[in-house]
Structure 1
């Protein structure tokens, strides 16, 4: 391979690694939001249920 082709291959590999890290970070962020949303919805459901039972 020529030097330019080697540089392009290394650059593309680095881009692929960076994209993999970004996707993993994004997936974690989505999971955290989903868990938080589920906790809030659950708390509201418990609050409504508690109020309904105490009525």
Structure 2
């Protein structure tokens, strides 16, 4: 029979792994939104400059 402490440690490791994966997915999602926002702002700035030069 397994020791309850080792079962808890194994469970905690699994929880930590799941949390790390969830954190990574969240970080990627935030990065994608940041890049998309920067692209939109950049395109707006380029469009504004082109309109001002007419």
Structure 1 and Structure 2 fold alike (TM over 0.5): yes
Match of 1:5 in 2: 5
List 4+ stretches of structure 1 deviating above 6 A: none
RMSD: 1.0
User: How far 1:6 sits from its partner (Å)?
Assistant: 1.1
Equivalent-residue separation in structure 1 for 2:53 and 2:12 (angstroms): 61
Equivalent-residue separation in structure 1 for 2:53 and 2:7 (angstroms): 69
TM-score, length basis structure 2: 0.92
TM-score, length basis structure 1: 0.90
